[in-house]
Structure 1
Amino acid sequence: MWQPVTLPFKNGSLPRPTLPTPDEIRACTTILWERSSVKVVAVNDEIVVKFGTSLNAWEGQALVYLERYVPSVPAPRLYAMYRDAKQLFLVMQRAPGVPLSSIWRSLTEPEKDDIVTELRKAVDTLRQAKSPWPDFYGGLDGGSVHHYLFWCRKVGGKYLGPFHGEAAFVAGLTGNYRAAIERDGLPDFKARFYETSLLHVLQGHRPTLTHGDIQPKNIVVAEKGRNSRGQRSFDVMLVDWEEAGWYPDFWEYFSATRRSSALPPEAGVFSSPAPRQYYAESPVIEVPPGRSSLR
């Protein structure tokens, strides 16, 4: 049975390169990404580190889970996870290649098809995994649902969950929508509609292992060869597993296709959910911008 690892954690199952010290990491000038109190730096060609004071361990727990139970999913391996001076450090394998977002428009159709085929394999492998906890909807660390729609809109915000049963998951979603509009003093007609309709429409979906944020910037591709016509083929790796967890089986499709930077649906990475699921879920995920936004 899966149990989240304790910190400090060092991965003893992998050939491990020499790991940098916290001070060496902080001094690194090759910054790949930075936001508020979280930074991602490339220490060298082998190691990338995500660290900061507002970083949470659940992304590291997700990487450990994937390595142990779904190793064929292309995800970075976690070398170490620890805290130092109030900062959390995730020391990871550096994914070779470039973000798909940087080259998608320049690819030929056969090259796009090759990448989509690899992505579909990864998603299908995730969907075949079995949850270690019956009827559980939450993070791979056994905790809350790490998605912005489940960030509690009441005082003292935190992520909601975990939930046991799809009905509880949907109730958490609609309840959080109500909390947002009540906080902003807005009419509750949409909240009442969601509360009475979504529980009837969104049911019968098993807990499914979900990345939660599949978009081109989180897909790293590396050329692995060319055929006789000069068309490239690619290795693919999914990064940024912060929102990963056990969600209803339609969630990967919605979370991936409702973002402005998403791959086009016609790319064919995901199987579309039934129309009634699509139209029921979309209004909640696409909360209008403004005071009632859940973002």
Structure 2
Amino acid sequence: MWKPVPLPYKSDSLPLPAIPTAAEIRACTNVLWDGAHRIVALNEDVVVKYDGGLDATEGQNLIYLERYAPKVPAPRLYAMFEEDGKTYLILQRIPGVPLDSIWKSLTVSEKNGITAKLIPVFDAMREAACPWPDFYGGLDGGRVHHWLFYSQKKKDFKFLGPYYGEDAFVAGMLQNFRVSTERCERPDFKARFYEKYLPQVLRGHRPTLTHSDFHQKNILVIENPCPDNQGERSFEVVLIDWEDAGWYPDFWEFFMASDRNVFSFCDEDWFWHMQQFLEVWPAELGVMRLFEKDMRGH
């Protein structure tokens, strides 16, 4: 049975003489990303992710993937520690670029090649066995790390869950909507509508290993050194940013991945390519889009 590792954690494959200190990490000036979290490159092989409310969830998720879903391409976690209430993830540096930065420049053949690389990735995720029966929650066995499950109770400041059974998962989402409705002192007509109809649509699904933040920015593509004899490039793929991953219903990946594409697919072909490696759930997508819109409206 999978259990999260205690901190501090150090992998046998750490390509450094020792785990860098928090002071050494914060002194690093090679900043690759400074958004919700900060990512700095210590050298050509190692990056560190920290700040922005980061906790150990993503690190535990990467350890889980390495041990139990090795066919899923993700960065290696070399080490993880906490200091002064902050978490530091020492990660493998992937020598690639985000897919969104080059997608429009690719040929049809090159796009098809990347799509083909993603098919076995998501096949492996769908085939992964959940270690707990009928479980919906984090890969660490904890809460559901998605904003729809962030508690709407005043001063709660936590994610909800985990849940056992699809009915409990849906009920937890509905209860959070009702709490939000009551906190905002709104009429409960929409809450009653969703409580009646959402369980009718969101049924018959199973817990599935899910990235839950899958989009082109979180796909790093690494160009292979030698084009084929037609001059076409080929690429390897690695999925990054696993902090929201968990065991979700099998429609969830398509629902989340469509979020950034469904409104632009008229002038983008990514949405069409995506359907080749993700299971398509149009009814579930429709009702979840409506539910999500109303939840944001609160």
Q: Does 1:82 align with 2:81?
A: yes
In 1, Cα distance between the equivalents of 2:184 and 2:295? 13
Deviation, structure 1 residue 264: 3.1
Q: Deviations over 1:49-72 (max 9, x none)?
A: 111262111111100000001111
RMSD: 1.8
The CA deviation string for residues 1-47 of structure 1, in whole angstroms up to 9 with x for no partner, is 111101111112x36334433222111122222236x3111221111
State the secondary structure of the residue aligned to 2:221: strand
Looking at structure 2, the residues matched to 15 and 58 of structure 1 have their Cα atoms a distance apart, in angstroms, of: 20
Residue identity (%): 51
CA contact (8 A) 1:151 1:158 kept: yes
How far, CA to CA, are the matches of 2:175 and 2:219 in structure 1? Answer: 33
Asked whether the equivalents of residues 115 and 236 of structure 1 are also in contact (C-alpha less than 8 Å), the reply is yes
CA distance in 2, matches of 1:183, 1:264: 39
Residue 270 in structure 1 maps to residue 271 in structure 2: no
**Partner of 1:111 in structure 2?**
110
Residue of structure 2 equivalent to 1:99: 98
Which residue of 2 is the match for residue 5 of structure 1? 5
- 1:238 alignment partner in structure 2: 239
Match of 2:158 in 1: 158
Asked if 1:247 corresponds to 2:255, the answer is no
Is the contact between residue 53 and residue 86 of structure 1 (CA under 8 Å) also seen in structure 2?
A: no
Give the corresponding residue for 1:207.
Answer: 207
The amino acid of 1:276's aligned partner reads: A
Decide whether the 8 Å contact of 2:58 with 2:242 is kept in 1: yes
One-letter amino acid of the structure 1 residue matched with residue 227 of structure 2: R
Counterparts of 1:114-153 in structure 2, within 5 Å, are: 114-153=113-152
Q: Assess if the C-alpha contact under 8 Å between 2:114 and 2:237 holds in 1.
A: yes
What per-residue deviation string (whole Å, max 9, x for no partner) do you get for residues 121-167 of structure 1? 21111110000000100001110000111111111221010001010
For 2:221 and 2:52, the matched residues in 1 are separated by 29
CA contact (8 A) 1:138 1:162 kept: yes
- Mapped contact 1:166–1:205 kept (Cα < 8 A): yes
Separation in 1, partners of 2:286, 2:47? 40
AA at the equivalent of 1:272: V
Aligned to 1:54: 53
Gaps of at least 5 residues in structure 2 are none
1:223-234 equivalences under 5 Å are 223-224=223-224, 225-234=226-235
Amino acid of the structure 1 residue aligned with 2:91: M
User: Which amino acid counterpart does residue 22 of structure 1 have in structure 2?
Assistant: A
Change (3 A) 1:3 1:289: closer
Report Cα offsets for 1:95-117 as digits up to 9, x if no partner.
Answer: 11111111111111111111111
How far apart, in 2, do the equivalents of 1:48 and 1:9 lie?
Answer: 16
Q: What amino acid is aligned across from residue 167 of structure 2 in structure 1?
A: A
How far residue 170 of structure 1 moved from its aligned partner, in angstroms, is 0.4
Superposed CA deviations along residues 212-256 of structure 1, whole A, max 9, x for unmatched, are 111111110010131111110001000000100000011011011
Q: Which moved more, 1:65-74 or 1:280-289?
A: 280-289
Q: Is the 8 A contact 2:14 2:78 kept in 1?
A: no
Name the CA distance, whole Å, in 2 between partners of 1:53 and 1:230: 43
Q: Distance in 2 between matches of 1:75 and 1:50?
A: 15
State the 1:277 CA deviation: 2.4
Distance, in Å, in 2 between the alignment partners of 1:258 and 1:79 is 32
Q: Is the 8 A contact 1:53 1:88 kept in 2?
A: no
Q: Is the 8 A contact 2:218 2:240 kept in 1?
A: yes
> Which secondary structure state, in structure 2, belongs to the residue aligned with residue 124 of structure 1?
helix
**Displacement after TM superposition at 1:288 (Å):** 6.8
Q: Which residue of 1 aligns with 2:293?
A: 286
